[in-house]
Amino acid sequence: MSMTQQEIPSDTVTAQHQALQVLNLAQRTAEEHVASARRSAEKITADARAGAEQIVRDAQAHAQNLQQEAKKSLSEAHVNAQQIARDAQAKADAIRKQAEEILGDAQTKAEETAKLAQTNADELKHQAQQRYEDVVGGLAAKREALQRQIEALEVFDRDYRSRITAFLQNQLRSLWVDEPKVNAELADSTLPAQTAGSSAAPKPAEPPVADKPDNKR
């Protein structure tokens, strides 16, 4: 076997080694991109969840404050109504001797005042309940929006992985398609030297194509 025939396998091994290095570099780059994307998605998801939990806690605290204010207002309204009723009753007792008509008017005024106080208390309670429902409804809408953002991030992650995989596959196909052309050019350049040395020397065999997929693994 001549010196030229020994150099071709060495060049082929070098080309395969370079292709393997490019493949390893591409794999490391892809893994770094995927890991970075995963970390970003996890951070955004964690931030979104933390924000949602904080919103829930704030809404619950606000609703509790509203309920406490409503209870306090209702209690004060009851106290005021009772005080007014007592005053009216005391006034009625004081003027009972003067006239039954004045007593009837006082009792009527006391009853109307109590009804008005109860009406105001019911209105405050209704307003507090309405505000509570509005807060809870707004919270549900925000949670749905955050959930949609999380789902969009998951879709982005899957799409990003698919694009990276397709890119790597295209690069690998390009490497394995270009390598036979390089081998053919090397073989053509050594043909005159073989003819001058020995006309009966066989043409060097190219590396088998079937062995190349093993390098991918």
CA 7 to centroid of chain Cα atoms: 56
pLDDT attached to residue 217 = 38
d(CA 39, CA 116): 61
pLDDT attached to residue 191 = 47
Which residue do the tokens 């292709």 mark?
19
Residue 2 φ/ψ, nearest 5 degrees: -80, 170
Q: Does the residue 89 lie in any domain?
A: yes
What global pTM score does this model have?
Answer: 0.26
pLDDT tens series, the chain, 217 aa: 444 444 446 777 788 888 888 888 888 888 888 888 888 888 888 888 888 889 988 888 988 888 888 888 888 888 888 888 888 888 767 777 777 887 777 788 888 888 888 898 888 888 888 888 788 778 888 889 999 999 999 999 999 999 999 999 998 888 887 655 545 555 555 544 444 443 433 343 343 343 444 444 3
Q: Does the residue 8 lie in any domain?
A: no
d(CA 175, CA 142): 49
Q: Does the residue 5 lie in any domain?
A: no
Q: Does the residue 167 lie in any domain?
A: yes
Q: Does the residue 200 lie in any domain?
A: no
d(CA 27, CA 168): 8
pLDDT attached to residue 209 = 40
pLDDT attached to residue 193 = 44
Q: Does the residue 55 lie in any domain?
A: yes
**Residue 59: which domain range?**
14-192+207-216
pLDDT attached to residue 51 = 87
Count Cβ neighbours within 10 Å for each residue of 9-30 and write b for 16 or more, e otherwise. eeebeebbeebeeebeebeeeb
Q: Does the residue 29 lie in any domain?
A: yes
In the chain, which residue ranges form alpha helices assigned H by DSSP? 3-95, 100-197, 212-216
Task: Please give the tally of structural domains in the chain.
Answer: 1
Q: Does the residue 9 lie in any domain?
A: no
